[in-house]
Amino acid sequence: MLSPGLSATREAILLAGFGRFKVISIDYRMPPDFPYPAALDDAMAVWKEAVKIADPKNMAIFGTSTGGGMTLAMVLRAKDEHLPLPASVDSGFSFDQMQAAVKSAPDRWAKTAS
């Protein structure tokens, strides 16, 4: 479960309770105090330890909001680092959120470039 602070704890409890899963909830470092890639580094450190104690074929990575984006980034980074991949991934993004982000991206890029 990827999300900072107590917000992830609530989601993790629901997943564990309803799905009867063992859940690891990561309270990763956040910007602006800890800029990119600190949060991803934290999540990857946990993944590297998790695959030592459990079979990745029985594991999933799930995150919502920013944690959803990190979920996808973790899989790409794990693949690049030749680490075991999870059996399942859920980014917690809805199609509407992605569509809105893509539509607003050129405006954000223009503001960043100036």
pLDDT tens track for 26-80: 888 888 999 999 999 999 999 999 999 999 999 999 888 778 888 999 999 999 9
pLDDT tens track for 79-103: 999 999 999 998 876 555 556 666 6
Q: How many domains does the chain have?
A: 1
C-alpha to C-alpha distance for 17 and 32, rounded to whole angstroms: 33
C-alpha to C-alpha distance for 112 and 27, rounded to whole angstroms: 29
C-alpha to C-alpha distance for 34 and 58, rounded to whole angstroms: 31
What is the residue range of 30's domain?
A: 5-113
